[in-house]
Structure 1
């Protein structure tokens, strides 16, 4: 059907409001049929929105793409059939019956997968902040969080050491 040697992200159109049910249904079918090595991941991208009603702050999860779910899979006749015939799915996004995978750039912009970044600093190293609100500050690495791709550093601000959390691409090691 398509390139079957690389798993790609595909967009699946769902009934409005059924995105999470579709996600659960696909995951259950994958588990029941033992297709974990073909259909790798199902996502319904959401963002947290702050609503203030009657003076009370409330965080709500809002779907970024209502009516759509994203599936990372190897495109085979079987995987296409399973996803396409899942209850709540109306079809793949693409011309006719040919699903078109998302480009690497689209996947990265949606935050579905972060590129792994190699860090050249360790705990105790001195770093410079190269972007963001703390740009041009110098700090000392306290913690490194690979899963969040962030670093906690102590930065001297107003004569005090202040802990800040920065993303890997916001800092560079001082030599």
Structure 2
């Protein structure tokens, strides 16, 4: 009988563990999601683990060499309660897989209509309303100056939520 187990990996070595386990012929699942961020003033999409330091592995409970899995590079060991390794229900793995495929890019960036603050020398802590991106490194904001709303294009690194 095959079951899914939860593995704990060494820090930031999930992909290494996944590759080494797959090379040994094991079925491994490492759920990830995409996050959109501003890095050095540029919009970028980064793939990030859904559960950092954890992998799911499908093993035959009758004839699997658990010590070979545990001694794989990048793996710290099995998650266990007492002496029993943690078994993960098949339904949970299915739900995580469907979530991973249906998941859209999560964004830490402001959305149209969000209130932001400018951090430039001329507009220190001035409140503005985010309108839309203006290329990779700039955004268009609506700023209230002298009781008149003005549209301004500023660098992304000069905006804070």
TM-score tier (shorter): 0.5 to 0.7
Instruction: Give the whole-Å Cα distance in 2 for the aligned partners of 1:101 and 1:112.
Output: 20
Of 10, 25, 34, the match for 2:5: 10
Instruction: Give the whole-Å Cα distance in 2 for the aligned partners of 1:85 and 1:11.
Output: 15
| Secondary structure in 1 matching 2:33 | strand
Q: Could you tell me which runs of 5 or more consecutive residues in structure 2 were left unpaired when the two chains were aligned.
A: 101-161
Of 77, 86, 106, the match for 1:100: 86
- Alpha carbons of 1:112 and 1:19: their partners in 2 closer, same or farther (altered >3 Å)? farther
Instruction: Give the whole-Å Cα distance in 1 for the aligned partners of 2:42 and 2:99.
Output: 34
Partner residue in 2 for 1:109 = 95
Higher relative contact order (CA 8 A, sep 6+): 2
Partner residue in 2 for 1:74 = 60
- Alpha carbons of 1:26 and 1:54: their partners in 2 closer, same or farther (altered >3 Å)? closer
Instruction: Give the whole-Å Cα distance in 2 for the aligned partners of 1:66 and 1:19.
Output: 8
| Secondary structure in 2 matching 1:87 | coil
TM norm structure 2: 0.54
Instruction: Give the whole-Å Cα distance in 2 for the aligned partners of 1:78 and 1:105.
Output: 22
* Higher gyration radius (CA): 2
Q: Could you tell me which runs of 5 or more consecutive residues in structure 1 were left unpaired when the two chains were aligned.
A: 31-38, 115-175
The count of corresponding residues between Structure 1 and Structure 2 is 100
